[in-house]
Structures are given as C-alpha cells and as structure tokens.
Amino acid sequence: MSTWTRRGLLAVGTATGVAALIGAGSPPRRPEPLDIVTGEDGFRAPATAAAGAVTFRVRTTSSRTGIVGIARLRRGIGEAAFRRHLRDVFEKESAQDVIQASRDLMADAELFGGAMAVRGSQSCFTAWLPPGRYLVLEYKDFEGPYIGRDPLPGAEYVSPLLVHAADDAGAGRPRPSATVTAVDTERGPRFVLEGRIHRGRTVRYVNAMRGQVDELAVYPLTDDSVTEADIQAFFQNPKDPHPPFDLAAQLGTPPLSPGRSAVLGMPLEQGRYALTSWVASTKDAQHLSAHGQVLIVAVP
C-alpha cells in the first residue's frame, strides 16, 4: 500500500464511460471475465478483449503486488515516457514537482481504473473500453522499494492489451447495488453514495471531479469508534504509526480519469468500511482524503 501523496495522477477524460456502464434492458449474454494474475513470480494479463463492458478478475500472490490498472496512451506518446512520468508521480518530493509530474502524465494517457486485490481473495472490475490499444499495469511496481517489487525502470509489469471491435459491445453490463461518485464541493472533494453497498454485489465508481483523477481505496474498519474526522486527520499525517485501518487490506480501484467510471466487485464482509483516496490534489499535492474525501459506510 502506498501513500498516494505521489499519486497526483492527472488525465483529461470524457464522459463516455460514465453513462456507458448503465443501460436499460437485459444484455443478451455476459462474456466470460478476463483473468489478471500478478505476483513476484510473474504477471499474467489478457492480450486481447472485445470492445464494450469488459470485466477483469484480479488476483495477487504477493503483498508486493495487487494494484492493477488499465491505461490508454494518447496519440504520439511512447510507453517509455509513460513509465517515466508514472514513476515521477511517486518519486518526486516537492509539491510543485508532484503537480508537474501529474501534468506530464495527464498528457501521456487516459486512466480507466482497475482493481486493488489482496492475497487470498479475488477482486474484479468492469470498464467500458472502446476499440484501441491499452496497457495493463501493476501500479505497485512504480511505487518504490518499500511498497512493491522495486524493479528497474523499464522492467515494471506492463502488458499490452488490444481491444477489438465487437457486434455485442453492450453485452455484459453489470447492475451494481450502489454508486459512489467523487465530486467537487464548496467544502472540498467528497464521495457521494447512491444506493447501498451489499456483500456479493458490484459497486459503480464515477470520477466526476473537474481536471482531477481520483481513486477509490476501501478499507475495513475493525474499531467501531473510528470516525470520518479521525480518518481525515490520518491522511493529513500519514506517517502516524497507528493508522485507523489495516493498510494491507486495501480494496477498490486505482485512479480513473475525469468523466470515467468503473464497476467493482470487492470481497466485502459485513461491517463498516472507509472509502478514501490517496490521490494528490492538483492544487496543493495533498491527499484528497486529507481535504475531507472520506466516507464511512456500513455493509449489511
């Protein structure tokens, strides 16, 4: 798990994916999910997929891996530049450098989210992918020696994915029980919940922030006394040796570009969960959750 002080990832998206994952009527069929397995012993990801609502199952065999995402390079951008700028987001120290690295990444790629997985369980996500060439990547490979495998530059887990046109691109749309939306408010960034999160049901996450990528990092809360204010205070001082939740139990999705959405399947149990974001604000490079983007929910 990383402190997303260095996750100030920027990309300009479109609203195409926001509405695409919800539609009326029953789909004719649901394509089989595509498997992604990540671990210190290797990385396995699909090479092709049919356009539309594509579902991926994510499993990790190591605590040093397990944050998998999908990115699409913009026209004229090489993979080497993308890798370099993604590393910069995590490695730069000053606020101005973090913001600049985020702007560089904004020009490189559009981010479609993904899944955060823990050993011993399986996560999944569904993203709306138009035809084109994408990258499947392990974010922890870019986060440094204390988080991931710490591979040399250029040796990170990044795998090409070709998404081809399909006649049944509307098939396989999941029907989530709840929608979590990241929004801007006068008080700062916030999460808004519509519906109710249930065990065994998917959750739709929408990034409606303006000019700001955002993620959804979900943690179980074992201490019933923990409040949203406690969690915000922790994000303001993430070096606190006593975090309000188990950092290794992270679920959710890595960043999505503005206007994008994804549907998540998380191995949730009954109890309280914290919805958070480690992504850095494009205004001051502080965690979005340090500015109040924290929501505690109860899963029945």
Tokens of 199: 């065990």
pLDDT average, residue stretch 117-130: 96
Tell me the average pLDDT of the chain.
89
- Render pLDDT for 31-55 as a digit per residue (tens, 0 to 9): 789 999 999 999 999 999 999 999 9
Q: End-to-end CA distance of the chain, in Å?
A: 26
- Percentage of the chain beyond pLDDT 70 is 88
What is the mean pLDDT of the segment spanning 236-265?
Answer: 95
CB < 8 Å & 24+ apart, contacts of 223-229: 224/272, 226/272, 226/274, 226/296, 227/296, 228/274, 228/294, 228/295, 228/296
Q: Enter the pTM of the model.
A: 0.86
Question: 89-105: per-residue pLDDT in tens?
Answer: 999 989 999 999 988 98
Main-chain dihedrals φ then ψ at residue 201, nearest 5 degrees: -120, 155
Mean pLDDT of 197-201: 96
Residue 171's pLDDT is what?
Answer: 53
Segment 170-187, tens digit of pLDDT: 555 678 999 999 999 999
User: Residue 174: what pLDDT?
Assistant: 76
Q: Taking residues 259-265, report their average pLDDT.
A: 96
